[in-house]
Structure 1
Amino acid sequence: MDIGLLAAFAGGALALLSPCAALLMPAFFASTVGTGPKLLLHGSIFYLGLLVVLVPLGVGAGALGTLFVVHRQAIVLVASLVLIVLGAAQALGFGFDPSRLLPSGANLHTRAASTTGLVKTFLLGAASGIAGFCAGPILGAVLTLAAAQGNTVAAGVMLAVYGAGMVVPLLLIA
């Protein structure tokens, strides 16, 4: 298995463990009350919501990476430096909120709070894909790894694995 996929999965789990996710967990657990098939259905819908946001980010990063595949050595050097900077920012408690970059990020949070059922679970997943002042450096690191892949499909898969890293621990806890 590719070490980048393992890092993406671990990054998703770490993003879930960030302080910002403390606001996510009660909403997820409230919308997934139940066990067995109902829990798996809501977990799958939540993951689908994450994928709707994360996979296009990964594909975009991968497309950017393919543009610069000729300069792979330089990209690996820059990606390494960016990962070190993002890791230091995470360790020092700094970060950014990627939801501010999207024009409807605040609207998505509002709709996720007021909707019920499977739609709420989907919106909660989509909001979780862009939410996270705390998880921003982790997502940035995974996007950097995705860009360094130089392959749009592999980059999309990497972000899907990152999302799975967020969902699997949630399902295990639930």
Structure 2
Amino acid sequence: MLAFGSMDEKDYPNLAAVASELSTVLGGSLITANVIADLLRGNHDFKFWLRILNRFKRMVDDNLSMYGEHPKEMLENERPIDISTFNTTLSHRRLMPPRVEKDHYPKQKLNYVAFGDLITGSISVPNDQFILVAWEARLPPYTKLVAEVSCVEEKHDCLVSPRKRRSII
């Protein structure tokens, strides 16, 4: 329902099937579901929705095979997940657990990348660490849900700086 907005999902059975499968793949993560729904609402093309579903399936499968745990559970336990399969320009990248950031207190001098741009591949991803913006408030106090994305080399992590997660409610 989140992905359809004011449209009736019964009028789009193929999209409804993709949305249903995507919600299963996400493992019940409400934050991720809202972020992805915002992305899907902007493009009602079946192939686009299917491409997003397949990227998330690959990411979940890769994390399950590497770590034996669903990415949702890893983030809830404040452990990074591998997001290399989201975008062909992302090799050896880890997403740290999300945090809330207030716009008027810039803590980082890193590049900011919108989640939708990363997933759709519509931008060139920075070569080093960057901040992934999953969600931005449209009203004051203009908070953001962000997560650091860091590169990971084969034998050691580079530029990984874990942060304590703050409540977003």
Shared fold, TM over 0.5: no
Greater strand fraction, Structure 1 or Structure 2: 2
The structure, 1 or 2, with the larger RCO (C-alpha pairs under 8 Å, 6+ apart) is 1
Higher helix share: 1
TM-score normalised by structure 2 residue count: 0.30
Q: TM-score, normalised by structure 1?
A: 0.29
